[in-house]
Structure 1
Amino acid sequence: MTASTAAEQALQALRQQLGAAVFTADEVPARNRNDYSGLAPTQPLAMVRPADVEGVAAALRICHAHGIAVVPQGGLTGLCGGARAQSDEIALSLERLVGIEEIDPASATMTVLAGTPLEVVQQAAAAAGFFCPLDLGARGSCAIGGNLSTNAGGNRVIRYGMARDMVLGIEAVLADGTVVSSLNKMIKNNAGFDLKHLFIGSEGTLGIITRTVLRLFPKPASTMVALCAAEDYGTVLKLLTAARNGLGPMLSAFEVMWPDYWDMATQKVRGVRNPFAADGRSYGAYVLVEALGTDPAQDGPHFEAWLARLLEDGTLPNAVVSQSLADEKAFWGVRDACAEFHQLWPGHLAYDIGLPVVNMDEYAVRCKAALSAQLPGCEAVFYGHIGDGNVHIVAYQTGVAAQPKDAADDIIYGLVREYGGTVSAEHGIGTMKRRWLAHARSAEQIALMRTLKAALDPKNILNPGKVI
């Protein structure tokens, strides 16, 4: 049977089984032809939009029988090309699998369908008196299933962990349409292999997540935010230790901005102000510290006393503490100003890497110098979730028709390998980082990944060409 015949037979079977949920050729909506990676749009063979888990299973059974590749799609906010379906592949969108199925106050869990936007999950948790700590800039668009398939991180990893740390149960559909459901609500469950971890972080290459049971947490009753100036990176490390020791479990974010990032954010992004402008000097680093507490009467004074000690003993040269919700938003606005950098550097190159915390500043200095020396006119800024080992880099070369991605990748990922870091801290591998996977994983690890892939998807129909 030829490939075209197999495709036609698969499409016919899909139409018979799923009817109007199947879109072919020009019927495929424009939004399903790309993700947020910046790569060129594609033209999938078809797009399937099942209404339930049974529809997902039926679609996979048909595609498996005919050897047609399937690319799962959630909110399409991924940055690594992991949700782009090619001309001989079928995009399987989970956008109709939405809804909060249950909130169990006794077990502090939520059972939710995979296509549900993260912000809906957050709002439902809040309405029930709980807190969903997973938070990303794309919260209004990204789907919880996609968050889990890429093991998303975000701003509060230092306290609550990555996405996988918030999951108790998973339902997933395998390549052949088999539904594996383990909607466990128990934190302690050591009955054999913990299979949910096969699917979390594997980017839809081992199975498609359709439901999940999430852990919920107590809703914070108080929020404290401070912006701290540091003389150098050594001071940043002292501050991190002091925050862990002095704030304990209240510490929820520790965001560091190097001076190049700070200057760009506060001087060039409209609406962002520099709270240290009055002292007329620059510092070696800037740190946003956030703490979440449960006792408003005590948490604020404790936080301010902790910060005051660091100012009094000379650890910090300057700091400002939020006094209102407007202050909190303004402080976070400096850290989130990176979302506007595309207006200043159109088509800029963005990187998400992980490094040992102690090496981050040395890496930033060497990386910035190497980019400037090897790519004349290339500027770079550094910032990130330093408390959990994650650095973001934005690079841009002026005066060129196209940004030198391959050359910049060589420099940035080459240094990552030298420092024993990872080429992806929280955004996955997809297609864009696949060639660099060996910089962060050993040959033995990659071989084991391929063994798992071959065992669960022997026909290689689930998101082929992604990750490994």
Structure 2
Amino acid sequence: MTVLTGSDVPVRNTNDWSPQPPEQPLAVVRPAGTDDVSAALRICHEAGLAVVPQGGLTGLCGGSRPIADAIALSLERMVGIEEIDADAGTITVLAGTPLAVVQRAADDAGFFFPLDLGARGSCAIGGNLSTNAGGNRVIRYGMAREMTLGLEVVLPDGTVVTSLNKMLKNNAGYDLKHLFIGSEGTLGVITRAVLRMHPKPACTMVAMCALKDYAGVLALLAAARRDLGPLLSAFEVMWPDYWDVATQQVSGVRNPFEGDATTHGAYVLIEALGTDPAIDVPRFGTWLETQLELGHVPNAVVAQSMSDAAALWGVRDACSEFIQAIGPHLPFDVGLPTADMDDYARRCRDDLAARIPGARSMYYGHIGDGNLHLIAWLPGAAEPPKQAIEEVVYGLVREFHGSVSAEHGIGTLKKPWLGHARTPEEIALMRTLKKALDPKGILNPGKVV
């Protein structure tokens, strides 16, 4: 275990990716293994010192941002693949291991680990689990929670709870791992995990579809679920406001419908993963041709190669470059009933413009799993009016009975809005769990609840 203090504290450990000022921790502790984590937490528990767990520091809500006079517990040294069990279809990893390393290890073993995020090269698997990360393939494989079979966790007092279960069926008492998945390091520190792997896809089919309106989006989603079944792995929707910025203002992004003068009401990127190219590729092509012939899809572009697929995905992933395209902006990640997303987007766009003259917003998201992303900004402003924008965005989330966080967590940035998505009774139960597991309140204090 190494300990860094004062000027030796790296800048990277003073913040995550949330738009907040950095904070210098009292010290950065870098454990080499579970025993070190246990010792560090035991000492801090006895001394009453706050501890902020850190992984890849790619969180967007402040969950791993340090607080003053606290210890930053960085798991960056706890990297590695401990075991791949081909018979069980599992991979056991250390919590600090980057997601991309887990993906490659599964691939090298002839398997597929489907969790995928834009920050795959930097984010740590322990952080993915502690925020219950989602990503692009939730519609088929579920959230990080569905990919986790077992965990090893260190409690705030240093107690090590090892439950590295490999079995899909295990109903021996409470399934304790679910206490820690999604708890953002407030109840315990994840140190190791047993994850489910899946069969490696033998073929990938990607298409970009231009649709008339959101009713067409819902009809296409229903058809894809019905006719493609388990092949369907991603269903990404982009409203025209997002599409125009992505294809006209982001360098390197090409409009796949260039030359199509039609004004479309929505754009959908569909991905399907198959196991038999001789069967699944023609099946996907026939299905899409049928949608075109029936008039359900006015126009579509089908990837003919992996580079084509990457180019189509590039339109959806262009949001990572929006800071250069539109300047300072506020990104949001909300959960909504799928049928209500277009109504929400319309209301939110109008209400933001009415509340903040000149404000603009754009909408996109995974849709099939109930996850809408939106970006709001005030052109020409050094900083968008955060409070006013959040009041509109989250006020409508409450009105539509949605969630203020679909996949990014709560951290500190969304904590004031938690009551818009959870009842007082639910929040009270969360606090009861926190008090039971962390009676001194030393572990990631001030986060989530």
Name the aligned partner's letter for residue 245 of structure 2.
M
Is it true that 1:315 corresponds to 2:293 in the alignment?
A: no
Separation in structure 2 between the aligned mates of residue 465 and residue 87 of structure 1, nearest angstrom: 12
Separation in structure 1 between the aligned mates of residue 386 and residue 326 of structure 2, nearest angstrom: 14
Separation in structure 1 between the aligned mates of residue 201 and residue 218 of structure 2, nearest angstrom: 27
TM-score (norm 1): 0.95
Aligned match of 1:13: none
Q: Out of 171-180 and 321-330, give the one that drifted further.
A: 321-330
2:57 aligned counterpart, secondary structure: coil
2:91 aligned counterpart, secondary structure: strand
Write the mapping of 1:19-418 to structure 2, written as runs, cut at 5 A.
21-418=2-399
TM-fit CA distance, 1:223: 0.2
Separation in structure 1 between the aligned mates of residue 129 and residue 380 of structure 2, nearest angstrom: 39
TM-fit CA distance, 1:24: 1.3
1:408 aligned counterpart, secondary structure: helix
2:61 aligned counterpart, secondary structure: coil
Separation in structure 2 between the aligned mates of residue 109 and residue 285 of structure 1, nearest angstrom: 39
TM-fit CA distance, 1:358: 0.3
Separation in structure 1 between the aligned mates of residue 358 and residue 93 of structure 2, nearest angstrom: 48
Separation in structure 2 between the aligned mates of residue 320 and residue 347 of structure 1, nearest angstrom: 32
TM-fit CA distance, 1:302: 0.3
Provide, for residues 366-412 of structure 1, a one-character-per-residue CA deviation record: whole Å limited to 9, x for no partner.
10111111111111110000000001111110232321011100000
TM-fit CA distance, 1:23: 1.0
Name the aligned partner's letter for residue 28 of structure 1.
V
TM-fit CA distance, 1:467: 0.1
Name the aligned partner's letter for residue 290 of structure 2.
R
Name the aligned partner's letter for residue 152 of structure 2.
E
Q: Which runs of 4+ in 1 moved over 3 A?
A: none
Separation in structure 1 between the aligned mates of residue 272 and residue 142 of structure 2, nearest angstrom: 15
Separation in structure 1 between the aligned mates of residue 81 and residue 179 of structure 2, nearest angstrom: 23
8 Å CA contact retained: 1:68, 1:90: yes
Separation in structure 1 between the aligned mates of residue 41 and residue 254 of structure 2, nearest angstrom: 51
Separation in structure 1 between the aligned mates of residue 194 and residue 105 of structure 2, nearest angstrom: 14
Provide, for residues 429-455 of structure 1, a one-character-per-residue CA deviation record: whole Å limited to 9, x for no partner.
000000000000000000000000000
Aligned match of 1:420: 401
Q: Number of aligned residue pairs: give it.
A: 449
2:191 aligned counterpart, secondary structure: strand
Separation in structure 1 between the aligned mates of residue 44 and residue 102 of structure 2, nearest angstrom: 31
8 Å CA contact retained: 1:95, 1:115: yes
8 Å CA contact retained: 2:360, 2:376: yes
TM-fit CA distance, 1:285: 0.2
Separation in structure 1 between the aligned mates of residue 260 and residue 443 of structure 2, nearest angstrom: 56
2:223 aligned counterpart, secondary structure: helix
Name the aligned partner's letter for residue 415 of structure 1.
L
1:224 aligned counterpart, secondary structure: strand
Gaps of 5+ in 1: 1-17
TM-fit CA distance, 1:315: 1.0
Separation in structure 2 between the aligned mates of residue 325 and residue 353 of structure 1, nearest angstrom: 31
Separation in structure 1 between the aligned mates of residue 13 and residue 249 of structure 2, nearest angstrom: 34
Candidates 448, 465, 468, aligned match of 2:429? 448
1:454 aligned counterpart, secondary structure: helix
Separation in structure 2 between the aligned mates of residue 54 and residue 309 of structure 1, nearest angstrom: 59
1:255 aligned counterpart, secondary structure: strand
2:381 aligned counterpart, secondary structure: coil
8 Å CA contact retained: 1:73, 1:94: yes
Name the aligned partner's letter for residue 306 of structure 2.
L
Separation in structure 2 between the aligned mates of residue 139 and residue 400 of structure 1, nearest angstrom: 32
Q: Once superposed, what is the RMSD of the aligned Cα atoms?
A: 0.7
8 Å CA contact retained: 1:236, 1:287: yes
8 Å CA contact retained: 2:329, 2:383: no
Separation in structure 1 between the aligned mates of residue 179 and residue 327 of structure 2, nearest angstrom: 37
Name the aligned partner's letter for residue 117 of structure 1.
P
Separation in structure 2 between the aligned mates of residue 72 and residue 243 of structure 1, nearest angstrom: 41
Structure 2 CA distance for partners of 1:402 and 1:279, relative to 1, 3 Å = closer
Gaps of 5+ in 2: none
1:146 aligned counterpart, secondary structure: helix
